[in-house]
Amino acid sequence: MGLIQQLVAIIEGNLNSSLQVKELAERSGYSERWLYSLFLEETGMSVAQYIRRRKLTLAALLLRHTSIPVTDISLMYDFSSLQTFSRSFRQQFTVSPLQYRNAKAWDMQYAQPVLYRLAKDTEFKLMEIAEGNNLPALQNKKCIRLGMDFIHTTKEGRLVYNRNLFQSMISIYEPTYTMSDFMISGEMVPAEYTDSEIIYTFTEIRKSTQPEKLLPDGLYTSQKFKGTYEQIFEFQIYDAMGSLCNNKCILKKGPMYTLFHRTENEDIMNAQFLIPCLKT
């Protein structure tokens, strides 16, 4: 990991606390002034700005995908009051937390992606499907309790996303171990009796099948990645979501689609992420 990513790893693991730039400098072994100048030069924002933007971005994810009350979310990220949180949220996302939670689409240009990438070069493009298929019925459901520490931790030099969510996602893949080529359609939505639930379905496909034959009409972002199930999950969380932010995509509410094609190495998959978006 480079220095910026090392700093980001410390930040990400402390987003539920009032981590000060002085403390970050002490933990990294550099002076506060030098750290401020380096971070600003490399990222275009101060350390304090990045920390606040990341807190609000994770809060936005919880608003979008969970039923956790707004007050609890504000406390999770160490805001002094609900009013302070709501004011800061509106400043970054241009709408209130409640409006964001009830929206049908989200402008990703206002979110702050993690300054952490796994893949140096990946294909990102927009794809419009004019005569698509019907929306697949989402037949399966998995309940998720995220807990009160919706932050990233570090393990062996790598960032690790929320452990409960990671384990739930990996367990979903189990029925696909005997499949060669398939598509997973699904989304993470607020739940009544737990924080969230993933609703999803599998569609076994032929290797030569094109996405246009599988997906509903509309505009999609397309990104490709090759790796194990665990690596594909990491890519989805960091690189794929980061690309949505960097390309100022308007994310459409509803399921996303992932096409999997197994390689000669049965543990390695070619994955294509297709995420519904609105035209800007």
* Backbone torsions φ then ψ of 258, nearest 5 degrees: -130, 120
Q: Could you check whether 3-103 and 124-278 share the same CATH topology?
A: no
Q: What is the pLDDT of residue 85?
A: 97
Prediction pTM value: 0.91
Q: What is the mean pLDDT of residues 9-13?
A: 85
- The token pair at 137 is 């019925």
Whole-number Å distance between alpha carbons of 184 and 232: 13
The mean-pLDDT minimum among 68-72, 86-90, 146-150, 203-207 falls in 146-150
> Among 78-87, 206-215, 233-242, whose mean pLDDT is lowest?
206-215
Answer whether residue 1 shows pLDDT above 60.
no
What is the percent of the chain with per-residue pLDDT over 70, rounded to a whole number?
Answer: 94
Say which residues have a Cβ less than 8 Å from residue 85's Cβ, sequence separation at least 6.
Answer: 59, 70, 73, 74, 77, 79, 97
| CATH code linked to domain 3-103 | 1.10.10.60
Q: What is the pLDDT of residue 162?
A: 77
The CATH number that domain 124-278 falls under is 3.20.80
Asked whether residue 14 carries a pLDDT value surpassing 80, the answer given is yes
Report the pLDDT value the prediction gives residue 32, as an integer from 0 to 100: 86
Q: What is the mean pLDDT of residues 110-135?
A: 81
The whole-angstrom separation of Cα 67 and Cα 194 is 8
pLDDT bin (cut points 50, 70, 90) of residue 148 is low
Contacts of 120 (CB under 8 A, 6+ apart): none
Tokens standing for residue 101: 């939670």
The pLDDT value recorded for residue 72 is 93
pLDDT on residue 106: 97
Q: Which position has the higher pLDDT, 52 or 35?
A: 52
> Is the separation of the CB atoms in 74 and 90 below 8 Å?
no
Residue 10 pLDDT? 85
Look at 114 and 101; give whichever has higher pLDDT. 101
DSSP string, 95-156: S-HHHHHT-SEEEGGGS---S--S-S---EEEEEESS--PPPP--EEEEE---S----EEET
pLDDT surpassing 90 at residue 278: yes
pLDDT, position 133: 76
- Average pLDDT score, the chain: 88
Q: Output the pLDDT for position 166.
A: 84
Instruction: Give yes or no for residue 267 having a pLDDT over 70.
Output: yes
Query: What pLDDT band is residue 120 in, cutting at 50, 70 and 90?
Result: low
Spell out the domain ranges in the chain. Answer: 3-103, 124-278
Confidence at residue 237, expressed as pLDDT on a 0 to 100 scale: 85
Query: Does the pLDDT of residue 244 top 60, yes or no?
Result: yes
